[in-house]
Amino acid sequence: MSIGTSRLLAFVALLMGCQSSVPERPANAISIGALLPFTGATSGAGETLERSILMVAEQINAAGGIAGRPLWIESRDTHSNVEVGLAAGQDLIEQGVFAIVGPEEPDLAVAMIPALNRAQVPMISVGASSPPAGLQFSSYWFRIVPTGTVLGQALADRMHSDKVQSPALIFVNDEYGRAMATAIQAQFEKSGGRFSLVMSFEPGSADLSPVLRRLLAVQQDGVVLVTYPASASSIIAAIPEMAGRSARFYLTPSLRSEVFLQNVIPSQVEGAVGVSAALPADASAFASTFATRWSGEQPIVGDYFYFDATAVAALALQAAASAVGPGFSPRDVQKNISPVTSPGGLVVTWEELVPALTELRGGKAVVYRGASGPLGFDDSNNVAQPLIQLWKIQNGQIIPD
């Protein structure tokens, strides 16, 4: 049993007031799988992301479940590792889940596509903002976060606005790093900019000295970091020489993290600018609901998107059940993911899953508006109207730019 599953079962036992035994999955339950990093390089997010998913299941089950069947969340630990995560994802498919939410690792999201296509199981990705260029379209892969192209354009525009002319671009050599770096470089150079250095390093590399030597050997007026908190903080900590330069750090979504802030000297990143998905103006309502449910804990940005991914999957489940009947399949769920977010039905918010289920049970249409904002999908199954935000580090805190 994976760490994620055991945590989930313990949580369900606690809800049921039964701490001495772990409940069995109800025989008639209908499952959504979740691929989450409970351990490994991105383990700081796994537990809170699972809590946002469980909030959806609570609402759904309080309203009678999906077609009279309880909704069950099957969590699996990716260990922040493609090989382990792929095995976990295949296990979820074999367990009979009707949809999968996650994962955080873009490499894993890409690796899952052949298995999704074979099994005809849809996956709603949250962490995979930047899959490789030229990736073959899969009708079973949906993405509710802004693409790397959109994020890269925003960061490139900001660098031009700051009159940065010859920045350095350092990226981790994995799917996320390569794709995001490619998007940023393309967008920056399209407007006449040029990078003084473009260099990658291998994931998990303990020796970053080649990167540091080359970085310090070139003149640059900005440094773009496309990597994760551990390696980014190591790079920044190892180059105090940067403190006397006018170069500013530009950061990508993976570094909008308290873990990153806790591992750098505040003065070294003061004024750094980053880009990531934005939240809507009414995001505070979800934060308040989340904090109330989880003893004051504040949600991270990813919580909004994981809640929405799970809500969309659950509504698509009910839509499929209403249209097809008891014998609906994951393929039927896939066919209903876009419809439950597209214009033409009753608009429902993330707080209104109960009336949404009522409408769907009656064969009517709904348009889900998420905690992260509008979620209609385009022809490539990307979110059609992504919200993006520039942010900065000021006095040791991440604030809107």
Going from the C-alpha of 134 to that of each of 110, 172, 182, the distances in angstroms are 12, 19, 12
Instruction: Name the packing angle between helices 301-324 and 283-293 (round to 10°).
Output: 90
Output 388 or 100, whichever has higher pLDDT. Answer: 100
187, 156 contact by CB (below 8 A) = yes
* Region at 81 (left for phi over 0; alpha for psi -120 to 50; beta for the rest): beta
Domain membership flag for residue 379: no
CA-CA distance, 74 to 57, in Å (whole number)?
11
Counted domains in the chain: 2
The arithmetic mean of pLDDT across residues 115-128, rounded, is 92
CA-CA distance, 174 to 85, in Å (whole number)?
15
CATH classification of the domain holding 138: 3.40.50.2300
Tell if the pTM clears 0.85, that is, is over it.
Answer: no
Q: What is the pLDDT of residues 67-76, one digit of tens each?
A: 999 999 999 9
Residues 187 and 200 in one domain: yes
Domain membership flag for residue 378: no
Indicate whether 8 pLDDT > 50: no
Indicate whether 386 pLDDT > 90: no
CA-CA distance, 195 to 165, in Å (whole number)?
8
Domain membership flag for residue 156: yes
277, 301 contact by CB (below 8 A) = yes
Domain membership flag for residue 377: no
The arithmetic mean of pLDDT across residues 188-196, rounded, is 92
Residues 394 and 258 in one domain: yes
CA-CA distance, 400 to 353, in Å (whole number)?
30
Mean of per-residue pLDDT scores for the chain: 87
Q: What is the pLDDT of residues 304-338, one digit of tens each?
A: 999 999 999 999 999 999 999 989 999 999 999 99
DSSP H or E segment with residue 254: none
Domain membership flag for residue 129: yes
Q: 94: which residues sit within 8 A by CB, 6+ positions away?
A: none
Residues 33 and 116 in one domain: yes
Residues 82 and 99 in one domain: yes
193, 137 contact by CB (below 8 A) = no
Residues 133 and 261 in one domain: no
Q: 118: which residues sit within 8 A by CB, 6+ positions away?
A: none
DSSP H or E segment with residue 185: helix 175-190
156, 193 contact by CB (below 8 A) = yes
Indicate whether 56 pLDDT > 50: yes
Output 111 or 320, whichever has higher pLDDT. Answer: 320
Range of the domain at 393: 148-279+387-400
Q: What's phi and psi for 51, nearest 5 deg?
A: -65, -40
Residues 235 and 306 in one domain: no
Provide the 10 A C-beta neighbour count for residue 334: 24
Domain membership flag for residue 239: yes
Burial of 142: CB neighbours in 10 Å, binned 0-12, 13-18, 19+? buried
CA-CA distance, 100 to 104, in Å (whole number)?
12
First-to-final CA distance of the chain:
43
